[in-house]
């Protein structure tokens, strides 16, 4: 019983809605269609539209989302002698009418569901004609909003009136390229006897006991016979007899010899093949054995949000995840694997699949299982009020049951979350007067979703929202309780305000910075290049985003005087702002139990909060995250009118180190020093008071160096006031096996040395960044790039950058 994919031979044609005269050729005749895929990528492949990501093509192509489109295929029926033939569609985007051989099979209106329809009676041996017609999702959403009633939502289109990916209608980091198409697999599944409709393993771990209850849903053919359902895992077996018509059975297996699955950094990730057989039908998937819970019990400081796996608290070092491409069918396992590598190598142990995106592919969750990256999964509601009328309620319930069942086998998935910012929105965003008593989604968060989780995934914890205080009697975004989003930083105030927070858990916060130079200017072609150029602003989706970028420099970085310095300054400031926040959050451990930065990835080339841009290039932020998300972390923080060295040891081994603390001039002369020793138990933090001061705050700094290699810095003033050398490094480059090596020697203090290697070659990547060098230090940077380049391009002034480059010359001399 396998899906015979119907992916080859499709055509696409325009079937309704206005087309601008410049694109009249779109309506001329059908074009080849790639399935899975969407209309935009098919028209692009046919040469009928320009690249939607380039310049202002986004608005040029807005008409596509206002049109109807029809996919057509002719195929032969399976000749396998099976009794039943089902048409299975794993993803239709979104409002579809499915017709087979002139007969309407179904209509759909939910992008996030899998559909199955029996079509055996309609099939012919040869020449079957399948048509899938998609209505304009924008027109449909507007129509349903008029029926259901207008409710607050974050952006132009009423994405809360249709079960389609919210960010597909545009977000403050993403384009409004509203898609239609067969975006996941479609095909014919043929079967006889009994079919395994679904398998839902519910793993239980209680002390040394390991158990899995395998819930199996069955469907029967008319001429089926009684059979035995058998499950195997880890050398253990369970079986149960099933008579004709039995819709479900449960097989319970105790597996005493399995090892526990752990998050990365806490242990191994053993996975065990679970197979289920029912007659000729078979299902298999790898599962892991773990327990998961969240501690939200009130304490003297409020109420925590502590993720606990296998009875062990896990300090969360995470990032929010958005769809990896606006056109989802282009997202491959290889591309996802690259982003998981980005997450792992930066020290992350959790990705939050945000509620304005999608339930990700099996590839995503399998990679998370294999690599030990925890997954926090939102239900797909974001920044809006949602009707609870039956029309949407029924879709939400079907969608939730579909996806919870599909994903329940993955040990990496440890949090289900009701949605993004919707409870906060109802409390704080002026919704109540507009709603006038209308439903807004509370029933989903406090009734439907927890009920579905309790029934289908009872061993995975649930949160009603993010942010959320886990009580109706506290503000949903109170830092003392549960999870908090910190967005006054970036939107309104300087990033030093992070230090005024004492959050239990930060599930969103972040700061913007542009994509890598080569990424950004591959799609932005203003002449001359200008941060406020009209095409640049197409790729800056945040409200007053560039104004906030510039105001965000604050006292930290002087106003840049060129496009090159603007790009470097805003990238640097993004990295510093987020680093500042996480250093503070980690210094509060154990009060603080983690943070989830907004965001790891981008869906296109853009100015955004991402650490890795739309072309997969790691921004300076990524290198800063690798430092502050390290297992062993050191920071100097203000404490009680002085300074303290705070050490957070998020590893299973004690951290013993000698500490040297010095006050140095920028030229490297020592003014004062002190020595100390540090002993930090596993998964703990300690604070060491520092007896240091400076008589020359614009010419001196503090460095704490640990014998285990960590460093922490403190500056007595902001960069524009410091007498930093404007030329603090000497760089040289040479070709080496597998790439290039750049050696950078500091002649005076060089802050945040970073190589923007893509400026020399767009394919180039570098192994480290945001490295502060003491006078006399030498650092080696390894560059991977195409062979045959002149190595010295990687030592150029626009490639080798430091914060010193941005200090006004009158200060640095």
CATH number for the domain including 68? 2.60.120.260
Q: Tell me the CATH number at 251.
A: 2.60.40.10
21 and 150 both lie in a single domain: yes
Structure tokens given for 566: 């603007």
Q: Are strands 128-134 and 68-75 parallel, antiparallel or unpaired?
A: antiparallel
Mean pLDDT, the chain, integer: 96
Kindly state whether residue 623 falls inside one of the protein's structural domains: yes
Structure tokens given for 261: 């699955």
480 and 588 both lie in a single domain: yes
Kindly state whether residue 451 falls inside one of the protein's structural domains: no
Number of domains in the chain: 5
Is residue 616 helix, strand or coil?
coil
pLDDT at 813: 46
Kindly state whether residue 433 falls inside one of the protein's structural domains: no
pLDDT tens-place string over residues 298-325: 999 999 999 999 999 999 999 999 999 9
For the chain, first and last CA: distance in Å? 76
Q: Which of 676, 694, 717 is the last residue of a domain?
A: 717
Q: Which of 189, 214, 233 is the last residue of a domain?
A: 189
Angle at the Cα of 724 from the Cα atoms of 722 and 728, rounded to 5 degrees = 165
User: Range of 27's domain?
Assistant: 3-189
Strands of 534-601, DSSP E: 594-597
Kindly state whether residue 303 falls inside one of the protein's structural domains: no
Q: In which residue ranges of the chain is pLDDT below 50? A: 812-813
Q: Tell me the CATH number at 779.
A: 2.60.40
pLDDT tens-place string over residues 705-747: 999 999 999 999 999 999 999 999 999 999 999 999 999 999 9
Q: Which of 141, 170, 189 is the last residue of a domain?
A: 189
14 and 149 both lie in a single domain: yes
Q: Tell me the CATH number at 376.
A: 3.20.20.80
174 and 205 both lie in a single domain: no
Q: Which long-range contacts (CB under 8 A, 24 or more apart) does 711-716 make?
A: 711/634, 711/772, 712/634, 712/635, 712/636, 712/645, 713/636, 713/772, 714/636, 714/643
Q: Which of 193, 6, 191 is nearest to 80 (CA)?
A: 191
523 and 578 both lie in a single domain: yes
Residues 6+ apart with CB under 8 A from 412: 288, 365, 368, 369, 372, 373, 374, 375
Kindly state whether residue 411 falls inside one of the protein's structural domains: yes
pTM over 0.85: yes
380 and 464 both lie in a single domain: yes
Kindly state whether residue 297 falls inside one of the protein's structural domains: no
Strand (E) or helix (H) holding 341: helix 333-345
pLDDT tens-place string over residues 539-590: 999 999 999 999 999 999 999 999 999 999 999 999 999 999 999 999 999 9
Q: Which of 213, 256, 261 is nearest to 235 (CA)?
A: 256
622 and 693 both lie in a single domain: no
DSSP for residue 618: B
Q: Which of 181, 178, 184 is nearest to 158 (CA)?
A: 178
Q: Percent of the chain beyond pLDDT 70?
A: 99
208 and 163 both lie in a single domain: no
Angle at the Cα of 709 from the Cα atoms of 650 and 645, rounded to 5 degrees = 65
**Between 545-552 and 563-587, two packed helices, what is the crossing angle to 10 degrees?**
70
pLDDT at 1: 64
380 and 490 both lie in a single domain: yes
581 and 662 both lie in a single domain: no
Kindly state whether residue 407 falls inside one of the protein's structural domains: yes
589 and 706 both lie in a single domain: no
The 3 state secondary structure assigned to 32-96 is ECCCCCCHHHHHHHCCCCCCCCCCCHHHHCHHHHHCEEEEEEEECCCCCCCCEEEEEECCEECEE
pLDDT at 192: 94
Angle at the Cα of 174 from the Cα atoms of 516 and 498, rounded to 5 degrees = 70
Kindly state whether residue 445 falls inside one of the protein's structural domains: no
Query: Which strands sit side by side in the sheet containing 312-314, from one edge to the other?
Result: 292-295, 306-309, 312-314
Q: Are strands 281-287 and 272-278 parallel, antiparallel or unpaired?
A: antiparallel
171 and 183 both lie in a single domain: yes
């Amino acid at each position: 019983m396998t899906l015979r994919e119907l992916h080859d031979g499709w055509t696409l044609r325009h079937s309704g809605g206005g087309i601008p005269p410049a694109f009249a050729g779109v309506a001329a005749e059908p074009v080849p269609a790639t399935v899975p895929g969407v209309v935009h990528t098919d028209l692009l492949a046919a040469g009928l539209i320009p690249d939607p990501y380039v310049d202002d093509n986004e608005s040029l192509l807005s008409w596509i989302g206002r049109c109807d489109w029809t996919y057509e295929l002719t195929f032969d029926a399976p000749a396998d002698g099976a009794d039943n033939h089902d048409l299975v569609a794993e993803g239709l985007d979104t409002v579809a009418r499915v017709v087979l051989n002139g007969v309407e099979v179904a209509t759909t209106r939910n992008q996030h569901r899998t559909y199955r329809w029996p079509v055996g009676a309609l099939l012919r041996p040869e020449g079957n004609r399948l048509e899938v017609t998609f209505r304009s999702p924008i027109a449909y959403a507007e129509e349903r909003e008029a029926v259901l009633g207008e409710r607050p939502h974050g952006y132009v289109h009423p994405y809360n009136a249709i079960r389609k990916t919210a960010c597909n209608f545009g977000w403050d980091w993403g384009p409004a390229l509203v898609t239609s198409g067969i975006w996941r697999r479609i095909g014919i599944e043929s079967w006889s006897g009994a079919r395994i409709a679904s398998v839902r393993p519910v793993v239980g771990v209680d002390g040394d006991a390991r158990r899995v209850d395998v819930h199996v849903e069955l469907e029967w053919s008319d001429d089926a016979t009684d059979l035995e359902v058998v499950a195997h895992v880890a050398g253990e077996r369970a079986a149960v007899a099933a008579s004709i018509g039995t819709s479900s059975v449960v097989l319970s297996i105790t597996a005493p010899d399995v090892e526990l699955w752990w998050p990365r950094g806490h242990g191994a990730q053993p996975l065990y093949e679970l197979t289920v057989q029912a007659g000729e039908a078979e299902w298999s998937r790898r599962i892991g054995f773990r327990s998961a819970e969240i501690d939200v019990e009130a304490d003297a400081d409020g109420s925590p949000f502590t993720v606990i796996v296998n009875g062990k608290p896990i300090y969360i070092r995470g990032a929010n995840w958005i769809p990896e491409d606006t056109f989802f069918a282009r997202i491959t396992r290889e591309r996802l694997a690259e982003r998981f590598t980005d997450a792992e190598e930066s020290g992350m142990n959790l990705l939050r699949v945000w509620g304005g995106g999608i339930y990700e592919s099996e590839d995503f969750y399998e990679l998370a299982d294999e690599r030990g990256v925890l997954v926090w999964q939102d239900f797909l509601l974001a920044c809006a009020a949602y009707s609870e009328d039956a029309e949407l309620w029924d879709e939400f319930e079907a969608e939730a049951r579909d996806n919870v069942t599909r994903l329940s086998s993955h040990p990496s998935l440890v949090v289900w979350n009701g949605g993004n910012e919707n409870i906060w929105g109802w409390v704080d965003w002026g919704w109540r007067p507009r709603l006038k008593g209308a439903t807004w989604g509370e029933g989903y968060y406090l009734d439907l979703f927890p009920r579905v989780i309790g029934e289908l995934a009872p061993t995975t914890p649930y949160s009603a929202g993010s942010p959320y205080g886990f009580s109706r009697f506290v503000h949903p975004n109170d830092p003392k309780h549960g999870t908090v989003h910190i967005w006054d930083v970036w939107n309104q105030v300087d990033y030093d305000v992070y230090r005024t927070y004492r959050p239990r858990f930060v599930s969103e916060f972040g700061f913007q910075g542009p994509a890598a130079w080569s990424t950004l200017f591959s799609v932005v072609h203003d002449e001359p290049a200008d941060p406020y150029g009209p095409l640049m602003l197409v790729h800056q989706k945040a409200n007053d985003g560039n104004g906030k970028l510039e105001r965000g420099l604050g006292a930290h970085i002087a106003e840049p005087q060129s496009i090159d310095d603007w790009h470097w300054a805003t990238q640097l400031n993004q990295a510093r702002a987020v680093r500042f926040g996480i250093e503070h959050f980690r210094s509060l451990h154990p009060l603080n139990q983690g943070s989830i930065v907004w965001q790891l990835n981008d869906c296109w080339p853009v100015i955004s909060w991402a650490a890795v841009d739309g072309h997969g290039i790691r921004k300076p932020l990524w290198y800063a995250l690798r430092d502050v998300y390290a297992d062993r972390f050191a920071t100097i923080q203000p404490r009680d009118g002085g300074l303290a060295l705070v050490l957070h040891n998020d590893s299973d081994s004690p951290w013993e180190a000698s500490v040297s603390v010095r006050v140095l001039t920028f030229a490297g002369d020592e003014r004062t020093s002190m020595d100390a020793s540090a002993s930090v138990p596993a998964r703990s933090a300690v604070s060491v008071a520092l007896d240091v001061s400076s008589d020359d705050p614009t010419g001196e700094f503090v460095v704490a160096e640990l014998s285990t290699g960590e460093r922490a810095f403190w500056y007595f003033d902001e960069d524009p006031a410091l007498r930093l050398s404007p030329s603090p490094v000497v760089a040289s480059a040479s070709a080496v096996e597998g790439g290039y090596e750049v050696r950078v020697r500091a002649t005076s203090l060089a802050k945040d040395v970073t190589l923007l290697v893509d400026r020399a070659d767009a394919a180039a990547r570098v192994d480290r960044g945001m490295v502060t060098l003491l006078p006399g230090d030498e650092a080696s940077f390894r560059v991977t790039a195409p062979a045959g380049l002149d190595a010295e391009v990687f030592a150029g002034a626009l490639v080798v950058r430091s914060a010193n480059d941005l200090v006004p010359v009158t200060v640095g001399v």
